[in-house]
């Protein structure tokens, strides 16, 4: 979700040699369970410490010079974007904490299902789904069942071999990175 720390961790990871980039959000999962790159520009809030370190030649603002957030264009890290599919090895579910403590702990595979269903299969949360049904009714939902079924099978294939983790992110950004880094090496 918004404000969960994904962009902060992505920017931190991109400072390290040998770390690639697939997507800040949910990449595309094929029927074999492989991930395909789906990169988007990174939206960085002005108040984020990383905002001051962005390469200015690749930064733009949507609503003019005073708008927040800044957008880091793909060209800034184009050499890090994966060019082909990769097996899904890890699913990390982030959880914010007000404490200093950061921790990465294993979870059972089934713990990833709610997030996969919401973000990848359905494509919207409960309230957006309810609004869709109110506006379009059940008749239009029938047209979405086929694609949703295909996406569900792809997620199941990916989940079959993936490890699922919960990353508790505290206020210490470097500690958050250190907790996650062990999965990326």
Instruction: State the Cα–Cα distance between residues 19 and 81, nearest whole angstrom.
Output: 9
Instruction: State the Cα–Cα distance between residues 168 and 55, nearest whole angstrom.
Output: 29
Quickly count: other Cβ atoms within 10 Å of residue 35's Cβ: 21
Instruction: Say what the pTM is.
Output: 0.76
pLDDT in tens, 79-127: 999 889 999 999 999 999 988 889 999 999 999 988 887 776 555 444 4
Chain CA centroid to CA 82, Å? 15
pLDDT in tens, 130-149: 554 455 555 555 555 566 77
């Amino acid at each position: 979700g918004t404000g969960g720390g994904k962009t902060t961790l992505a920017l931190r990871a991109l400072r390290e040699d040998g770390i690639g980039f697939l997507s800040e959000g949910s990449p595309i999962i094929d029927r074999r369970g492989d991930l395909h790159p789906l990169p988007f520009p990174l939206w960085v809030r002005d108040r984020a410490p990383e905002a001051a370190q962005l390469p200015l030649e690749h930064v733009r603002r949507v609503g003019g010079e005073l708008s927040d957030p800044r957008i880091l264009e793909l060209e800034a890290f184009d050499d890090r974007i994966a060019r082909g599919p990769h097996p899904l090895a890890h699913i990390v579910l982030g959880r914010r904490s007000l404490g200093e403590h950061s921790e990465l702990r294993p979870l059972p595979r089934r713990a990833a299902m709610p997030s996969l269903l919401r973000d990848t299969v359905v494509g919207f949360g409960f309230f957006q789904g309810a609004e869709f049904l109110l506006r379009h009714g059940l008749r239009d939902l029938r047209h979405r069942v086929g694609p949703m079924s295909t996406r569900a099978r792809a997620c199941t294939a990916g989940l079959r071999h993936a490890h699922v983790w919960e990353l508790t992110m505290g206020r210490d950004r470097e500690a958050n990175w250190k907790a996650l880094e062990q999965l990326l090496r």
